[in-house]
Amino acid sequence: MTTDQPAIMFDFKKSRIRIHKNTLHALDNPAYVLLLINPIDRLIAVKANDGTDARAHRVGMRASKNKSFEIYSMALLDKLRLCSEWDEKQSYRILGNRIEEQDLVQFKINESFQYVNDRDESDEAGS
């Protein structure tokens, strides 16, 4: 799938969360990002940050301009599985929307779809 829309991927096999470069571009290539999770509304957000928040992840210059940014955390993925119907042996992608007033990109867990071998499955997960 090729799109300029912001995206995020959750890869349980590799304990990886990949924030795609289009998401970083939508946030004007921030130096730091926060990964926010609302389990009640089943929302995930990537928010630009200046590094003053202790929870912020530093995005390298190279990653923000040319590549995706990756976070490795099985603990975080385990918590995400509690508010989704995701299988721990699969990967999932969600396309997001920029919310300018809050300087973030929002992703709806119920709009996730299974991602396999660089191809998106047509069956949506969590619907």
Helix (H) or strand (E) run with residue 80 in it: helix 74-82
pLDDT for residue 2:
53
d(CA 74, CA 34): 17
Residue 127: the pLDDT is 37
Query: In whole angstroms, how large is the CA radius of gyration of the chain?
Result: 14
- Greater pLDDT, 4 or 119: 4
- The pLDDT of 24-34, averaged and rounded, is 93
pLDDT tens digits for range 41-91: 999 999 999 999 999 999 976 555 568 899 999 999 988 988 888 988 899
Query: Cα separation of 50 and 72, whole Å?
Result: 21
What's the rounded Cα separation, in Å, for the pair 110 and 127? 6
3-state SS, 32-57, equals EEEEEEECCCCEEEEEEECCCCCCCE
Domains of the chain, by residue range, sit at 7-120
Q: How much is the pTM?
A: 0.83
Q: Is the pLDDT of residue 4 over 60?
A: yes
Query: From the centroid of its chain, how far is CA 91?
Result: 12
Q: Measured between alpha carbons, how far is 62 from 107 in angstroms, rounded to an integer? A: 24
